[in-house]
Each structure stands twice: as C-alpha cells, then as structure tokens.
Amino acid sequence: MKDNKSGKKVLAIGICVVLAMGVTACSSRKEPQTNEPQENAPQDNNSETQATPKDNAQDSSSLFANANLQGSVVEFSDTEISVSMATTETADDGGEVMAEAAPGMENKDELAHITYTDDTLIQLLVMDRASQTQVSLSDAEKSSIKKQTSVLVFGSCQDTYHWTADKVVIIRWQ
C-alpha cells in the first residue's frame, strides 16, 4: 500500500511541476510541442496532435503535461470562462503541492479569462480517483462547462490573465 501512495505522490508532483511551467511560460508559439520522431518512423507534417474520440491514444498524463494552464471555472458565458489558476507550492518536506483558491475565495483580479469560439474543441476527460487513470476522453459541448468545473486549457495567451483557447478539457473524477 505504501508503494501505491508513493507512486501517486510522484505522479502528482510530476504533474504539478509540468503545470507550473505551463502556467508561467506564456508563449505565442503556434506549433504544439512534440516528441522527437523515432528513427525510420513515417512522418506526417500535417497530422493533428489533439486527441479525439477516434484517436484516444493521448493519455491523461500527456494531457496534464501539455496543458497551458489548469484550474477551476469561477464564471462562464457562451464565449468566455474565468478560471482560478492552479499553482504549485513547495511543501514542508521539499515536495511540491498543487494549490488553488477555495470556491468563493478567489481573487477576481487574478482570474485567467479564457476566450473560446464555436471552433474550440471541448472534451470531457473522466478519471478514476482511486487509480489516478483515465477512464474515457470524449467530445463535449460548451454547456458542460459549469462553475467549479476543473479544466485544462490549451491555447495561446495575450498576457498571464488573458487566453484564447484552442481546446478545453473538462476533468471529472469518479
């Protein structure tokens, strides 16, 4: 049982480190970060890198690692969501812990405002709480985004608090 807790802690710390880099690194790069191609592997320069229900090979760890920011929805409309961004903090034992403002305690001046359009891909990621693994990833509607919904945002930023989303992944735990 101790090994299972250690594995979960290592996974959580790794995700937090990557998310911290994504939150602090605001770039206008339009090409998604990809892994180096394997030698002798066929290359398709026009391939899509986003997961769809037909291409569910993108697992939850890569979704968390490649997201530009993570947080919880505080306000939403048909064209924008305001998100309380998750941040990482150093724990007393030297590890890192992901922290986020409690519902209702968010600082309105520190919310990220994410604009999205009808072309923005909205997906629902269902995660198993016990095993910390992905159960499913499917397309969803904007109407699935509600207050306190946990989200991963992929897109470009104008500054730290203003983003344009290419994809929003709603995270649900079961």
- Is pLDDT larger for residue 55 or for residue 111? 111
Query: How much is the pLDDT for 152?
Result: 94
CA distances from 128 to 80, 133, 147, 148 (A): 28, 5, 21, 19
- Is pLDDT larger for residue 150 or for residue 23? 150
What secondary structure letter does DSSP report for 92? T
Residue with tokens 């991963």: 152
Confidence of residue 76 (pLDDT cuts 50, 70, 90): very high
Query: How much is the pLDDT for 47?
Result: 34
- Is pLDDT larger for residue 47 or for residue 67? 67
pLDDT in tens, 118-173: 899 999 999 999 998 899 999 999 889 999 999 999 999 888 889 999 999 999 99
Taking alpha carbons only, the member of 61, 172, 51, 59 closest to residue 121 is: 51
- Contacting residues for 32 by C-beta, under 8 A, at least 6 apart: 49, 50, 66
pLDDT at position 111 over 80 = yes
d(CA 105, CA 141): 28
Structure tokens at 57: 């090979």
Q: What H or E segment, with its residue span, contains residue 6?
A: helix 2-24
The mean pLDDT of the chain is 74
- Over range 14-25, report the average pLDDT: 46
What is the model's pTM? 0.63
What secondary structure letter does DSSP report for 57? T
- Is pLDDT larger for residue 88 or for residue 137? 137
